[in-house]
Chains A and B, each alone.
Chain A
Amino acid sequence: MPMALIELNNLQKTYRVYQKKEGLRASIKGLFKRKYKEVQAVRGIDLQVEQGEFVAFLGPNGAGKTTTLKLLSGVIHPTAGSATVMGHIPWRRENDYRRRFALVMGQKNQLWWDLPAQESFRLHQQIYGIEPDTFQHTLDELSDLLGLRELLSQPVRELSLGERMKMELTAALLHSPEVLFLDEPTIGLDVVAQHNIQQFLKYYQEKRKITILLTSHYMKDVAALCKRVVIIADGQIQYDGSLSGIIDETTNRKLVTLQFADPIDKRLLGSLKRFGHIVHHEAPRVKLGVTRDDVPAMLTAILDAYDIDDLIVEEPPLEEVIADVFARVSETSATQSELGLSRSNDTQVGEAE
């Protein structure tokens, strides 16, 4: 069986975190005796990504998305499990591997703050050993696509956040990586800048057919770019499939909006409750959450009983569905730990001198 381009097997990462208590007294005590907590950031991820895929990692803060990208970039070592990217084990940090991928982090910057981005780019050229002609060609292409030409000679500290992010992307792409890891590349950007970066990534990925793993909190990024979505919560994969598939698989709810010809009174609202729960009402419209299988029967009944001007049946918004998935995961893990059912290597509180 040919190996996938990126392959993760039961990948795990545990951190030991110092539990600091509030107050001076506790701090002094902490000088002598410290309590540590084992935090499992990633608890066994299996994943295969083929060449040319554009995959999104979705998940709440602290779900393990960034940790996974850091493991795949070889920045940190795993506690258990294995991973290969293009046949390399990332945390061995072989130069042959490091020349073939790039990592962009929306929260961290690598460009020299006080120097024009151009100077940092030249440094990259030398570190990656890029031929001068190729370098100039790539830089021209990227700066045209991202509209950076005039900004190349301005100190990075004088650039706007959006411009800086574009520079970071340029820096990461100068050596034409085959695999790109993007950790929240649009964080903190305005709508226009977000859109620009999305458009750029889309174009670039389609043209170069590179493989991209992206984490983002913006559903728009994901909807615009990725066919495949991996939901990570609580350090594990909760869903892996298409974006539209999330709705089919994780919810059996539809939203039905009714526009009444007659005014809405309490009695009417009361009688609507037997069809489903009322999500929102603002005269003359009422929005109901209804179980999918019940929709046809409900519509017949309502159209019989009331005078309806307009009617919309739709899927619930993606953000809500995903938020539901997150909420469900954290609920389950909370109940499990309450019942003492937590997995054997789950959160452990240990003491150490």
Chain B
Amino acid sequence: MAGYRPSYSRVFLTFARNSLVRDMSFRTNFILQSISTVSWTIMNIGFYLIVFQYTDSIGEDTGWGRDEFFVFLATTWIINSLVQTFFMPNAQQFSELIRSGNLDFALLKPIDTQFVISFPRVDWAALSNLFMGLTLLGYSLFQLTTRETNPLILDWRAVLMYPFYIACGTVIMYSVMITLASTSVWLGRNQTLYNFWFYITNFSRYPMEIYKVGWGMALWVFFTFLIPVLLVVNIPARIMAKPLNTMETHYWQLAGYSIFATLICLTVSRRIFVRALKSYRSASS
């Protein structure tokens, strides 16, 4: 009995299944949500199509032409949809559990509390963007590899590194969110979660080269080293969109640092989470 551990994967599958059953029972809501997510995505791409009517690339000599940038955009969508499907509803819920005192029940369960807080809800409707992202990725890569001048040759190392860095990026985003939600313990209420998410994803969804001019450097340093959200999309997108053999040394360094940053973010957020639980007061019944 003493060494007993619950099966985390099975608990997670039940969470996912229960969420699906729940989402399905509000069918129209589910469909509307999927439609609104996909429409936003389509408008998004429409906007960039307009931008590329005025210019050939994002920033001069950055190599972010239309199709390269669409790989970047697809990466943004993939990561965002993963975060919104698996973590966003839970971080939001966590904040609410703290305020209402219903976190009690999570604390009673013989299973890691951070796990049981981070995964109970899966927002399946948000997953529609993952498919949009994968489609755009496929399309852009097809364009890049079949263009007449200087076609991209897919490197197997890039194909392996891409999902790995997507995972790293998702973990960084998760850490930032769980940290933010944990602060509800001290603040009583923290409704800035969605706003904050919007602000930081705003920074993370452009190639980092555009910040490396003038005072943009300050932003670059801040969002690379302090809150490393610039790495989230940039590293996997760069690896996939452009040939690996032309990748600059500092990009390789950032890619290495990215792994380190992921681990640091996860550790720090875990610490803050545990610290928050100690201060939890359990709003009275």
Question: Which A residues are within 8 Å of any B CB, using their own CB?
Answer: 15, 66-67, 70, 73-77, 93, 95-96, 98-99, 102-103, 105-108, 110, 112, 114-115, 119-120, 122-123, 126-129, 155, 183-184
Q: Please give, as numbers and ranges, the residues of chain B lying within 8 Å of A99 by CB-CB distance.
A: 4, 110
C-alpha spacing A73/B101, complex, angstroms? 14
Residues in B whose Cβ lies below 8 Å from that of A112: 18, 22
Instruction: Report the separation of the CA atoms of residues A102 and B284 in the bound assembly, to the nearest whole angstrom.
Output: 18
Binary CB contact string for chain B from 99 to 117 against chain A (1 if under 8 A, 0 otherwise): 0111111011111010010
B102 (CB) vs chain A CBs: closest residue: A108
Chain B residues with CB below 8 A from A67, complex form: 284
Task: Find out whether the CB atom of A110 lies under 8 angstroms from the CB atom of B110.
Answer: no
Q: Do A110 and B105 have beta carbons less than 8 Å apart?
A: yes
Candidates B5, B22, B100, B104; contact of A70 at CB < 8 Å: B104
- A119 near B21 with CB under 8 A, answer yes
A95 touching B110, Cβ below 8 Å: yes
A114: chain B residues within 8 A (beta carbon): 22, 25-26
A-B contact count (CB 8 A): 88
A75–B280 touching, CB < 8 Å: yes
Complex Cα gap A70–B102 (Å): 12
Most A CB within 10 A of own CB, among B26, B100, B282 = B282
Min CB distance A74 to B, Å, is 7
With A128-B6, A183-B285 given, is the CB distance from A95 to B18 under 8 Å?
A: no
CB-based contact B2/A96 at 8 Å: yes
Contact B280 A129 (CB under 8 A): no
Q: What CA separation (Å) do A158 and B248 show in the bound complex?
A: 61
Contact check, A126 vs B7: say whether CB atoms are below 8 A apart: yes
A118 to B2: give the CA distance in the assembly, Å: 28
Chain A nearest Cβ from B92, distance in angstroms: 16
- Is residue B193 contacting chain A, with contact meaning CB distance below 8 A? no
11 contacts between A and B (CB under 8 A): A66-B285, A96-B1, A105-B285, A123-B14, A123-B18, A127-B110, A128-B6, A128-B109, A129-B5, A129-B6, A183-B285
> Are A122 and B107 closer than 8 Å at their CB atoms?
no
